[in-house]
Structure 1
Amino acid sequence: MQKNLKYPLLLLSVTIVCACSSGSDEDKNLASTHPKLEKQLDRDTANMSMRNEEYEDLYQRYRITTEEYENSGNYNVKNMFRGKLAPADEASHSDARTYQTALREGMAQGVNFAGKYTVVTIGCGTACQQHFIVDRENGKIVEKIQGSAGARFSKNSRIFILNPPDSTINYNECQDCKPQAYELVDGKLQAIK
């Protein structure tokens, strides 16, 4: 048996030695081995602060409006659902089967919105999220809404903020990033004006 292992072990040792020694030039990086890429990276690299002062007024307006909705008390949930939580009913929405694994995993969060709903957020690409709202009494997917910059919601409130205010976003350039406030009424999201 030792004879059978001798050559594969020798080959493995040589492979490891070659792999380890090939990266000996510490000063090389991907850009330095590709001159055109190095020039493009030098030209395109942005040094941007995490706070966009130029659009601070617009951000503050969105932030204040959102906080007013959330803190008003007008959207508080009085009765929390305490029964057995139903799993997602895959027949209740045309996209449910496509995202069945993500929906099942997200349902493990329990009630996280408006007293009896679970919001399951699923990525759909760069700056894209789909938010499925599932009624946990019957498992029906009552809403699906898509956004670009996340969502904010609470199990004690009927307020759903799509694309919550973020000081790093340039709202003049990203029209799909603008915060939008909704109220959940009878299982449907209605825009708050």
Structure 2
Amino acid sequence: MYKNLTYPLLLLFATIIMACNTDKNEDKSIGSTHPKLEKQLDRDTANLAMRNEENAGLYQRYRITTEEYEKSGDYSTGEMFRGRLAPLKEDSHPNARGSIIALRQGMTKGVNFAGKYTVVTVECGTNCQEHFIVDRENGKIIDKLKGSAGAKYTLESRLFILNPADSTRNYTNCQNCTPQAYELVNGKLKKLDK
């Protein structure tokens, strides 16, 4: 009868010993419990992408170009639309059909671009956003841009920057992250080249 209890008691005893030993490791980091990982964490930092001189050069070029556009003053809006904001015309763009709910929700933000437009950003997957630009005077979607790294725009400017420059982004590994500048001219986006 006692023979049958030997194995369960040994198992219980081993479990208690292991539980007591795990308390000793609680104060240690993950790196300290894995020597190879600890060495790698000491060597690598969050700024690893910036060690690549090519990437740093690309970022500086993108940043300087973007700042030149923003500081030029050539893109100021002028007048602000003060009328009643039109609701979304759902049939005004062929790609809007799958994003109607997100577009309606985004339009509640009001005017946020170039004096009379609302930019609504809809996620379309990992590192993918679609930026719909809606004319709030008539409710029509005038354009849609697809990007990988966000957008930068203001209420007072006609300048729209797709994938704005970011020092943490590794441009050599992200093919679709290149910043692109657009100007809103007569209700249409025109790509700027510089």
TM-score range, shorter-chain basis? 0.7 to 0.9
1:51-62 aligned within 5 A: 52-54=50-52, 55-62=55-62
Per the normalisation by structure 2, the TM-score is 0.74
The Cα of 1:143 is off from its aligned counterpart by 0.2
Distance 2:45 2:149 in 1: 19
Distance 1:82 1:76 in 2: 17
The Cα of 1:157 is off from its aligned counterpart by 0.3
1:165 aligns with 2:162: no
Paired residue type of 1:151? A
Q: Which residue of 2 aligns with 1:119?
A: 119
Distance 1:97 1:84 in 2: 24
Q: Which residue of 2 aligns with 1:151?
A: 151
1:98 aligns with 2:98: yes
- Who wins on radius of gyration, i.e. which is larger? 2
Q: Runs of 4 or more off by more than 3 Å in structure 1?
A: 24-27, 44-48
Which secondary structure does the structure 1 equivalent of 2:133 belong to? strand
Distance 2:118 2:51 in 1: 36
Per the normalisation by structure 1, the TM-score is 0.75
Q: RMSD between aligned alpha carbons?
A: 2.5
Which secondary structure does the structure 2 equivalent of 1:157 belong to? coil
Unmatched 5+ stretches in structure 1: 1-23, 28-37
Q: Which residue of 2 aligns with 1:7?
A: none
The Cα of 1:57 is off from its aligned counterpart by 1.7
Distance 1:151 1:82 in 2: 25
Paired residue type of 2:76? N
Distance 1:174 1:116 in 2: 33
1:49 aligns with 2:43: no
Q: Which residue of 2 aligns with 1:142?
A: 142
Which secondary structure does the structure 2 equivalent of 1:92 belong to? coil
Which secondary structure does the structure 2 equivalent of 1:64 belong to? helix
Which secondary structure does the structure 1 equivalent of 2:98 belong to? coil
Distance 2:69 2:129 in 1: 23
The Cα of 1:97 is off from its aligned counterpart by 2.4
Distance 1:125 1:64 in 2: 29
1:189 aligns with 2:189: yes
Which secondary structure does the structure 2 equivalent of 1:101 belong to? helix
Distance 2:97 2:176 in 1: 27
Which secondary structure does the structure 2 equivalent of 1:67 belong to? helix
What does the per-residue CA deviation read over 1:62-83, in whole Å, with 9 as the maximum and x for residues that have no partner? 0011011011100001100000
